[in-house]
Amino acid sequence: MRRRWLVPGTAAAVLLGTFGLPALLRQVPFFRVRQVELVGVRYLSPDTVLAALGIAPEQNVFDDTDAIASRAASVAGVVSARIERRLPGTLRVIVVEQVPVAFVAGGERLVAVDGDGRTLPYDPAASGLDLPLIAGADSLLVRSLAVVRFTDSTLFREVDGARRTPLGAVRLELGATQVLLAGVPAAGDVRAIAAVRQHLDAAGRRYRELDARYRRWIVVRRGLS
């Protein structure tokens, strides 16, 4: 039988590297947190996120960051958060925010909502949000707008507002034109609308309405009324 020998000094080094090194580095002032980077913060106020982190003045980059990530994830409007270390003294906080899809009138101000109709704490003035306006957090409207936003950002940016028709269809208002949807569209439906719009624009053909309520067909209506 072949015997394996481990030099005592080597064993101590292995144990130190596995268990003791991070603990020792936490005591080194050189690794104190001096800078915090926020990544992914687009709609929320950076000051709000920083205040929620609760980073102590003596925080070391090798301290456990799970609690900081949990506090960041608890901020309203944040879906998830994780922390990266950047030596010698930087913590990078990477957050994923809930994506707003519409504005709803809320008293004297506009309130942003996501694709599930949940209210988001985003300040329109501070974040520069430009979203379609809807009368209320109608699930049909917000879900439709969410599909449009994630499928064709160009089309979404042109949508001024959305309404539910008396027959339960969705009317997207794009300036002087409109798009009719039978309900919450599939991604393929949105891409088909984008292709028709691109073709009409390239041909210089003006239109008043694109009616996508029919399976496999998009009806182009011209004229003023």
Tens digits of residue pLDDT in 120-172: 999 888 878 999 999 999 999 999 999 999 999 999 999 999 999 999 999 99
Three-class DSSP category at 76: coil
Residue type, 224: L
Q: Which uninterrupted H or E stretch holds 25?
A: helix 21-25
Three-class DSSP category at 14: helix
Domain co-membership, 142 together with 216: yes
* Domain assignment of residue 124, yes or no: no
* Domain assignment of residue 183, yes or no: yes
Three-class DSSP category at 62: coil
* Domain assignment of residue 131, yes or no: no
Domain that holds residue 163: 136-221
Domain co-membership, 141 together with 188: yes
> Any idea what the CATH number is for the domain that residue 87 is in?
3.10.20.310
Domain co-membership, 154 together with 88: no
Tens digits of residue pLDDT in 57-103: 999 999 999 999 999 999 999 999 999 999 999 999 999 999 999 99
The number of folded domains in the chain is 2
Share of the chain above pLDDT 70, in %: 89
User: How is residue 221 written in tokens?
Assistant: 């209506």
Tens digits of residue pLDDT in 158-217: 999 999 999 999 999 999 999 999 999 999 999 999 999 999 999 999 999 999 999 889
Domain co-membership, 148 together with 215: yes
